[in-house]
A and B are shown apart, each in its own frame.
Chain A
């Protein structure tokens, strides 16, 4: 699996957009980008995933660069409840295994 690099921490004002970057320069053509978050020692929660097109769901948007070497998770209007550690994971879309490799993630602090 491709390795990912994320900043250790970020701050964001409540109501503003939170843009969380992730570098994955060694990503392979069959690998997807997944984002999970973990709120204060709870179990991680799936947010979104994508291959090469930008994706949006009710929680967030995912922007993947054209060369697929980096991506950005966007929380359009961050709230205090979005304070969490966000993990970027690159993983092949395969039916033979579903093992996720979690790095140290980005700790997002949303403030008033």
Chain B
């Protein structure tokens, strides 16, 4: 089983709809992240969380919200989806306490492809 899972893997929705993307991890990591990737571009950080009570905005948080329901779960919501939120969304985890490769080793999920019509 994958350590970091994302659901759904693909989603098509209409403008104005509320959408939730979910991320679960079995790695026991305390830090979780949401990124988006647009075609031909690198990943951009939306939100990140260092533990259940900690939520931080990334570089492109407008139009998004998150919820850290438990250490293992981090959800991303689009309250009112718009077409320019069409992108590939990745969840990631990390844990500097356990990583032998440094604080910046992150483990990524398989991604969710979201299309907003």
Within 8 A of A (CB), among B70-111: 88, 90, 92, 94, 96, 101-111
A83–B80 alpha-carbon span in the complex (Å): 37
A44–B37 alpha-carbon span in the complex (Å): 11
Q: Is the CB of B106 within 8 A of A46?
A: yes
Question: Is B45 an interface residue, CB under 8 A from the partner?
Answer: yes
- For residue B74, give the distance in angstroms from its CB to the closest CB of chain A: 14
Question: Is B117 an interface residue, CB under 8 A from the partner?
Answer: no
A41–B43 alpha-carbon span in the complex (Å): 11
Give the number of chain B interface residues (Cβ < 8 Å): 29
Chain A interface category by residue count = 20 to 34
Determine the chain B residues whose CB is within 8 A of the CB of A29 once the complex forms: none
Q: Is the CB of B104 within 8 A of A102?
A: no
Determine the chain A residues whose CB is within 8 A of the CB of B48 once the complex forms: 99
Q: Which residues of A are at the interface with B, using a C-beta cutoff of 8 A? A: 32, 34, 41-46, 49, 87, 89, 91, 93-95, 98-105
